[in-house]
């Protein structure tokens, strides 16, 4: 008798559901606290605290329901053998379309189309409720139902255009590669990632948002001066119309080598009291660039991707793995899916480790901005972002350690204060 892959995967899924629910319960207890954490007393207004508390509680209650439905659905799909049944049905679907049912690429695309439609349909009620009830109730949602479905259709259209050639290429690589399969797959994904990084801001992002150059004035002058002082190769400075969809705010940078862009959400500019707070947030983002955080993260992801493909090559011909889940054949895409399920425990460990690194990077970027002289406006900017985004003020330490890629506000402010004392 072979290894019970299916039972192990389902068992771990259920274990993680109960573990994460335990953390969610701890977080819910923290969110119910009626008082601000001591470090934020007198820093965050009581009115903003009450609004953030109500928003966080609404999202928490909704999450409990969503997580419960998701684990039931995912477990049922695996246990009843829905995936192998669906794979068998794709042969008839491809044949009815007048295509060769023995062609694995055609069958894989049909399989992906059906599973994507299923996931979109089952997730749609949750997305609608989250956007038009919870986000709207707390003043964040700005999009109409038409814009919501337009974004959904554009996203699916992009999947239809970009998905088939990528899937076909992966199948061909796996079928034709020899002992260096992992390297070929990794090289393909690397080139695809670089291509998407290049075309996303130019061709894809404008399909969802409008990018306009930041008008001339004190804010633009200060950002350009800051970038020049750090020798950041700033080529373009944009404002994005984030307010057409949400009141949440952000800023980010992108681009290769000597052609960098900075994008600022219009909501960020509206929410901050003055230009210095916006510039401080940009200084934090430039800190990630100056300290090579983006490069380190990219390299780490490439190493992890190569290791995953290396592991996949060890089991891609494992009849035992496929049969455990009810498959009588060994399609390439199915093998990749089953392998990802089988190494789920490693995924969780890696994700936790990456969150630890990400939080360390956030502290370093804050310290970088502080050393540039932006400690006070950065502190004010972080508080303003926390207030305007109605982020949770009270957080359970276990929950935040497991889930958060950014440290809670209390920890970031404390680190800035410690840094000031050390500098002085």
Structure confidence by residue, pLDDT tens digits, 69-94? 999 999 999 999 999 999 999 999 99
Question: Is it the case that residue 424 has pLDDT exceeding 70?
Answer: no
What is the pLDDT averaged over residues 21-37?
Answer: 96
Residues labelled catalytic: 285, 366
Q: Can you give the pLDDT at residue 246?
A: 79
Q: Can you give the pLDDT at residue 261?
A: 87
| Residue 356 to residue 403: CA distance in whole angstroms | 10
How does residue 236 score in pLDDT terms, banded at 50, 70 and 90? confident
Question: Is it the case that residue 420 has pLDDT exceeding 70?
Answer: no
What is the pLDDT averaged over residues 336-354?
Answer: 93
Question: Is it the case that residue 215 has pLDDT exceeding 60?
Answer: yes
Total-model pTM = 0.90
Spatial CB neighbours of 139, under 8 Å, sequence gap ≥ 6:
247
Q: Can you give the pLDDT at residue 242?
A: 81
What is the pLDDT averaged over residues 274-297?
Answer: 92
Q: Strand 259-265 to strand 251-256: parallel, antiparallel, or no bridges (unpaired)?
A: antiparallel
Q: To which residue do tokens 């299923």 refer?
A: 118
| Residue 27 to residue 67: CA distance in whole angstroms | 15
Q: What percent of the chain has pLDDT over 90?
A: 71
Q: Can you give the pLDDT at residue 422?
A: 66
How does residue 366 score in pLDDT terms, banded at 50, 70 and 90? very high
Ordered DSSP codes for 213-250: EPPSSHHHHHHHHHHHHTT--EEEEEEE-GGGTBS---
Top-confidence residue, 63 or 294? 63
Question: Is it the case that residue 171 has pLDDT exceeding 80?
Answer: yes
Q: To which residue do tokens 């700005």 refer?
A: 142
How does residue 360 score in pLDDT terms, banded at 50, 70 and 90? very high
What is the pLDDT averaged over residues 323-344?
Answer: 93
Spatial CB neighbours of 268, under 8 Å, sequence gap ≥ 6:
249, 250, 251, 278, 281, 385
Question: Is it the case that residue 404 has pLDDT exceeding 70?
Answer: yes
Q: Can you give the pLDDT at residue 419?
A: 65
Q: Can you give the pLDDT at residue 241?
A: 87
Question: Is it the case that residue 170 has pLDDT exceeding 90?
Answer: yes
What is the pLDDT averaged over residues 260-282?
Answer: 88
Question: Is it the case that residue 1 has pLDDT exceeding 70?
Answer: no
**167 close to 108: Cβ distance less than 8 angstroms:** yes
- For the chain, the average pLDDT equals 91
Looking at 214-218, 298-302, 420-424, which range is the least confident one?
420-424
Phi and psi, residue 76, nearest 5°: -60, -40
Do the annotations mark residue 347 as ligand-binding?
A: no
Do the annotations mark residue 66 as ligand-binding?
A: no
Top-confidence residue, 379 or 259? 379
Top-confidence residue, 209 or 12? 12
Helix/strand/coil for 141: strand
């Amino acid at each position: 008798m072979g290894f019970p892959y299916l039972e192990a995967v389902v068992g771990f899924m259920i274990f993680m559901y109960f573990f994460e629910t335990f953390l969610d319960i701890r977080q819910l207890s923290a969110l119910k606290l009626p008082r601000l954490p001591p470090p934020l007393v007198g820093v965050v207004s009581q009115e903003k605290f009450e609004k953030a508390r109500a928003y966080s509680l609404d999202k928490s209650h909704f999450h409990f329901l969503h997580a419960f439905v998701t684990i039931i659905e995912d477990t049922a799909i695996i246990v009843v053998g829905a995936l192998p049944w669906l794979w068998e049905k794709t042969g008839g679907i491809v044949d009815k379309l007048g295509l060769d049912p023995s062609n694995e690429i055609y069958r894989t695309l049909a399989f992906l189309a059906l599973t994507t439609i299923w996931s979109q349909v089952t997730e749609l009620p949750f997305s609608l409720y989250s956007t038009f009830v919870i986000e709207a109730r707390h003043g964040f949602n700005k999009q109409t139902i038409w814009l919501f479905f337009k974004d959904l259709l554009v996203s699916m259209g992009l999947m239809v255009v970009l998905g088939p050639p990528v899937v076909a290429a992966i199948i061909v690589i796996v079928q034709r590669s020899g002992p260096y399969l992992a390297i070929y797959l990794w090289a393909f994904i690397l080139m695809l990632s670089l291509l998407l990084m290049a075309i996303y801001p130019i061709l894809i992002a404008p399909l969802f948002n409008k990018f306009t150059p930041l008008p001339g004035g004190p804010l633009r002058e200060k950002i350009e001066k800051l970038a020049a002082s750090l020798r950041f190769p700033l080529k373009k400075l944009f404002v994005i119309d984030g307010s057409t969809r949400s009141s949440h705010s952000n800023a980010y940078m992108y681009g290769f080598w000597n052609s960098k862009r900075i994008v600022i959400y219009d909501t960020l500019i509206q929410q901050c009291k003055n230009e210095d707070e916006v510039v401080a947030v940009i200084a934090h983002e430039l800190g990630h660039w100056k300290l090579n955080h983006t490069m380190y993260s990219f390299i780490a992801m490439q190493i992890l991707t190569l290791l995953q493909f290396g592991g996949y090559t060890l089991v891609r011909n494992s009849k035992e793995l496929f049969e455990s889940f009810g498959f009588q054949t060994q399609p390439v895409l199915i093998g990749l899916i089953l392998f990802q399920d089988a190494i789920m425990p490693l995924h969780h460990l890696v994700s936790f480790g990456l969150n630890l690194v990400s939080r360390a990077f956030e502290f370093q970027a804050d310290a970088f901005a502080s050393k540039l002289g932006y400690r006070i406006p950065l502190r004010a900017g972080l508080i303003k972002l926390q207030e305007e985004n109605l982020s949770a003020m009270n957080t359970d330490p276990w929950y935040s350690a497991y889930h958060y890629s950014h440290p809670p506000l209390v920890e970031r402010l404390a680190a800035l204060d410690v840094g000031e004392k050390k500098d002085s």
